[in-house]
Amino acid sequence: MTETVPPAEHRSGFACLVGRPNAGKSTLTNALVGEKVAIMSARPQTTRHTIRGIVHRPDAQLVLVDTPGLHRPRTLLGQRLNDLVRETLGEVDVIAFCLPADQKVGPGDRFIANQLAPLMTGRRAVPVVAVVTKADLVDRGRLAEHLLAVDALAREADREWADIVPVSAKDGFQVSTLEDVLVSHLPAGPELYPGGELTDEPEQVMVAELVREAALEGVRDELPHSLAVVVEEIIEREGSADPDKGRPPLLDVRVNLYVERDSQKAIVIGRGGSRLREVGTNARQGIERLLGARVYLDLHVKVARDWQRDPKQLRKLGF
Ligand SMILES: Nc1nc2c(ncn2[C@@H]2O[C@H](COP(=O)(O)OP(=O)(O)OP(=O)(O)O)[C@@H](O)[C@H]2O)c(=O)[nH]1
């Protein structure tokens, strides 16, 4: 019998991707992890939850935390998200600050750089790698200019980036280089997630993301940030599985969709319930793939007035 000898120095730890909305954090997480874990969208701030993916390789395990956009708080929800973001940031081993190459360094980036600055010094300083995303969208000249501007951004705050790495999640340019750079900032340590499961996101949160994505499809303009999704229960129907016949179990999945106004409820439900049925069908297919089971999906649309500003509602909705 041969035993597998662990590599001399195995590294492990947590990395957090920050950056303004639309900076390409979710897409980059997916490119690094190699599987769709965060839900992508052309619209800002669909990533309400902290979603982790794991880069699992023989010499390292890098646990990625994809945060909601670190943005200037406008509502209580924004404030909560920022608290969550800062809490997460204090605990990670390396931060990847994403700055899209096709957009000038602006006030949003400066705001984040200033938030990061205090974390970058002292005994427990966290290294921050500046990641210039979407490099495929600009030519070499503009990329070089952008890299200089990104470098200057750190010096404005009297700090230095641990590294600066241009990447394109779209065509894979430098993604493995970035992976190596992030790993190089991790401490020596054993696998944090034995076997390296791709995600430790609770099933319920992923189910909620799939329903939210389906419910927003085509109506994002009418329901910008006014939709929260809560999975009430996932229950296996007794006696539904038949392993002998290769029949997977049937799961009853009950989900509440919260909107702020009656008019929004009407949009989600559609004429005679037609749109909600379509949302259910689309979400169910994704959930069945995710859970490897047959799914009976029960959707309820409820009005929670001004839920973004009400602390009690926020807690109920899991924020
Ligand atoms: N051309 C190109 N487009 C990209 C790249 N990475 C992301 N995008 C696009 O940029 C948009 C935003 O990407 P996301 O990954 O959703 O950005 P995000 O930072 O997670 O956004 P929030 O969830 O709003 O914080 C999407 O339309 C992506 O398709 C890239 O490397 N190249």
Distances (CA, A) of 310 to 149, 172, 262: 40, 42, 18
Which protein residue has the closest C-alpha to ligand 1 atom 10?
24
Q: Which long-range contacts (CB under 8 A, 24 or more apart) does 311-317 make?
A: 311/76, 314/76, 314/77, 314/80, 316/230, 317/228, 317/230, 317/258
- What residues are designated binding site for GTP? 19-26, 66-70, 133-136
Q: What domains appear along the chain, each with residue ranges and CATH number? A: 11-184 (3.40.50.300), 203-316 (3.30.300.20)
- Ligand 1 interacting residues, C-beta cut-off 6 A: 19, 21-27, 40-42, 44-47, 69, 133-134, 136-137, 168-170
- What residues are designated binding site? 19-26, 66-70, 133-136
**Ligand 1 centroid from CA 294, angstroms:** 32
The number of CA neighbours under 13 Å toward the Cβ of 86 is 16
Q: How many angstroms separate the CA atoms of 308 and 310, rounded? A: 6
Q: How many angstroms separate the CA atoms of 20 and 152, rounded? A: 18
Q: What are the tokens at 150? A: 């990104």
Q: How many angstroms separate the CA atoms of 6 and 13, rounded? A: 17
- CB contact at 8 A, 273 and 243: no
* 264-303 residue pLDDT tens: 999 999 999 999 999 999 999 988 887 778 999 999 998 8
Higher pLDDT, 38 or 167: 167
Q: How many angstroms separate the CA atoms of 143 and 132, rounded? A: 9
Which protein residue has the closest C-alpha to ligand 1 atom 9?
24
* 106-159 residue pLDDT tens: 998 998 898 888 889 888 889 999 999 999 999 999 999 999 999 999 999 999
Radius of gyration of the chain (CA): 21
